[in-house]
C-alpha cells in the first residue's frame, strides 16, 4: 500500500527554541533524514519532543537555527506553500465535531484550493483516494464524533493524506489507542511512502516502526541514527531515568526492551 505523493528530505540545523528569554526547551538540535524516512522522536516527558515538532511545522518560530525541506528553508515559505509540503496530525482530538468523515477528510484539500470556488474534481478524487487508502469508505457519511478513538485517528491520517503532502508530522499518534489500533495506525503510516516524523512514548513500537530515531533529554539531542544503534540499554536508561534491558532480537525481529526502576545504593 503506497500513496501517489513522495517524501521529502528534512534537515534540522542547530535549532533552538523557548517560549521566553531564559527558558530553552529545544537546545541546539541538528539532524537530517532522507526522503521517505520514518523518524521517531523519543524522550521522557519534558524532553522537548513536542516543542521540536512545533518548530518543524511552523507553529513555533525557532530562536536560532533553521529547518530545511529538500534544502529549502522552511521559514522562507508562505503558510500555503508549507501546508502543501507538510501535513500535521496532533494529539488533540475534537470530541464534538459536527462534520461527517468525508467532510473532515476533504478539509485536507484546503491548501490546494484556488480562490473561493467549490471543491474540484481533483479535490474529490484525492478525498476518495484517502478514504479508500485507509479503508474508511464505509464510514464516509458517519458523523466524526460518533467514531471510536482508533477510527478517528484513521480519519485524521486520511485528512493528512488528502492534503497530498511530502511530509506527515504526528504528535503521539498512538496515544489513548489499544494495542491493535496502535499497530494498525503505525502500519498505515509505514505504507504511505512519505516522510513521517512522529513523537512516540512506546520504545518497542518505535523500534519496530522507525528507520531513524532521535533520542532527546532536557531539550537536547542525546543520540540520532537507526534504532539498532541509538536504542542501547545505556542510552535509554539515561534518557528515561529507568533501568532498561534489551532483549536480543531474533533474525528479522525488532529490538525489545523491558524496564524497571533503578536501584539506588
Per-residue pLDDT tens digits for 183-215:
888 998 998 889 999 999 888 899 889 999 999
pLDDT for res 192: 87
Q: What does the DSSP 8-state code read for residue 250?
A: P
Give the pLDDT band of residue 93 (cuts 50, 70, 90): low
Of 86, 27, 35, the closest CA to residue 221 belongs to 27
The pLDDT tens digits for 50-87 are 999 999 999 999 999 999 999 999 999 999 999 999 99
pTM above 0.95, yes or no: no
Are the C-beta atoms of residues 158 and 133 closer than 8 Å to each other?
A: yes
Sign of CA dihedral 59, 65, 70, 72: positive
Quote the mean pLDDT of the chain: 89
Q: Inform me whether the pLDDT recorded for 1 exceeds 60.
A: no
Query: How would CATH label the architecture of 10-260?
Result: 3-Layer(aba) Sandwich (3.40)
Amino acid at each position: 500500500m503506497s500513496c501517489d505523493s513522495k517524501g521529502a528530505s528534512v534537515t534540522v540545523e542547530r535549532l533552538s527554541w523557548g517560549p521566553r528569554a531564559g527558558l530553552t526547551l529545544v537546545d541546539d538540535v541538528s539532524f537530517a533524514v532522507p526522503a521517505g524516512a520514518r523518524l521517531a522522536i523519543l524522550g521522557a516527558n519534558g524532553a522537548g519532543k513536542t516543542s521540536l515538532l512545533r518548530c518543524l511545522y511552523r507553529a513555533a518560530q525557532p530562536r536560532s537555527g533553521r529547518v530545511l525541506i529538500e534544502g529549502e528553508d522552511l521559514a522562507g515559505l508562505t503558510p500555503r506553500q508549507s501546508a502543501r509540503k507538510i501535513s500535521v496530525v496532533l494529539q488533540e482530538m475534537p470530541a464534538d465535531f459536527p462534520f461527517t468523515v468525508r467532510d473532515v477528510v476533504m478539509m485536507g484539500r484546503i491548501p490546494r484550493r484556488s480562490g473561493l470556488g467549490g471543491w474540484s474534481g481533483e479535490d474529490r478524487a484525492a478525498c476518495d483516494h484517502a478514504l479508500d487508502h485507509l479503508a474508511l469508505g464505509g464510514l464516509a457519511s458517519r458523523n466524526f464524533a460518533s467514531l471510536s478513538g482508533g477510527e478517528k485517528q484513521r480519519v485524521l491520517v486520511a485528512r493528512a493524506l488528502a492534503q497530498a503532502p511530502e511530509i506527515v508530522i504526528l504528535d503521539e499518534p498512538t496515544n489513548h489507542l489499544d494495542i491493535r489500533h496502535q499497530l494498525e495506525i503505525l502500519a498505515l503510516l509505514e505504507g504511505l511512502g512519505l516522510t513521517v516524523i512522529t513523537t512516540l512514548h512506546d520504545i518497542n513500537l518505535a523500534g519496530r516502526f522507525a528507520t531513524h530515531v532521535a533520542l532527546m533529554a532536557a531539550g537536547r539531542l542525546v543520540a540520532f541514527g537507526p534504532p539498532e544503534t541509538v536504542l542501547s540499554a545505556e542510552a535509554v536508561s539515561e534518557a528515561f531515568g529507568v533501568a532498561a534491558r534489551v532483549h536480543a532480537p531474533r533474525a528479522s525481529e525488532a529490538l525489545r526492551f523491558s524496564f524497571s526502576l533503578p536501584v539506588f545504593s
